[in-house]
């Protein structure tokens, strides 16, 4: 496999945020995600409970270096309603960068796993950074258009 430099970015509005008490379940989910996209940890998965006086800055961050770069998931548990497209209660910002190629099957699997949090709106962009910042694919999804599983299956 040649070096590809794919970067998956997703902004997903969710009905449910993982709670701090669900750390074991989140670790299993992230381990499953990494396994399903054929990526290997370079270091430990780190969890940060983001506390702030400003409710909009509260949430959780999950970060893990992988052999080909990194995976970061930031769940904001009290997003400002003005930035939300839907009645989601949580905002996920996902960042998966790899020097490898991300196949459609791998992106589909990432999206399928996010279904656990009941998405209501999403923006998903796959960037190829091999020779610049080329957008390989960009999709917007809202719950009224089709089911999340149907959207994910489109990858």
Buried b / exposed e over 70-107, threshold 16 CB at 10 Å, is ebebbbbbbbeeeeeeeebbbbbebebbbbbbbeeebb
Does residue 123 have a pLDDT over 60?
yes
First to last CA, the chain: 21
Q: Above 80 in pLDDT, residue 2?
A: no
Q: What's the whole-model pTM score?
A: 0.91
pLDDT in tens, 59-117: 999 999 999 899 999 999 999 999 999 888 999 999 999 998 899 999 999 999 999 99
pLDDT given for residue 145 in this prediction? 85
Q: Over 70: is that where the pLDDT of 1 sits?
A: no
At 15-54, the pLDDT tens digits run: 999 987 889 999 999 999 999 999 999 999 999 999 989 8
CB 38 within 8 A of CB 27: no
Domains of the chain from N-terminus onward = 6-153 (3.60.90.10)
134 pLDDT higher than 70: yes
């Amino acid at each position: 496999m040649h070096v590809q430099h794919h970067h998956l970015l997703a902004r997903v509005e969710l009905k449910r945020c993982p709670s701090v008490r669900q750390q074991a379940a989140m670790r299993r989910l992230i381990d499953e995600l990494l396994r399903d996209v054929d990526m290997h940890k370079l270091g430990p998965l780190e969890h940060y409970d983001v506390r702030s006086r400003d409710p909009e800055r509260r949430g959780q961050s999950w970060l893990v270096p992988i052999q080909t770069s990194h995976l970061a998931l930031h769940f904001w548990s009290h997003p400002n309603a003005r930035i939300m497209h839907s009645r989601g209660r949580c905002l996920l910002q996902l960042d998966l960068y790899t020097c490898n190629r991300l196949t459609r099957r791998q992106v589909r699997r990432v999206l399928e796993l996010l279904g656990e949090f009941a998405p209501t709106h999403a923006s998903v962009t796959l960037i190829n950074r091999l020779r610049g910042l080329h957008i390989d694919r960009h999709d917007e999804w809202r719950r009224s258009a089709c089911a999340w599983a149907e959207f994910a299956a489109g990858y």
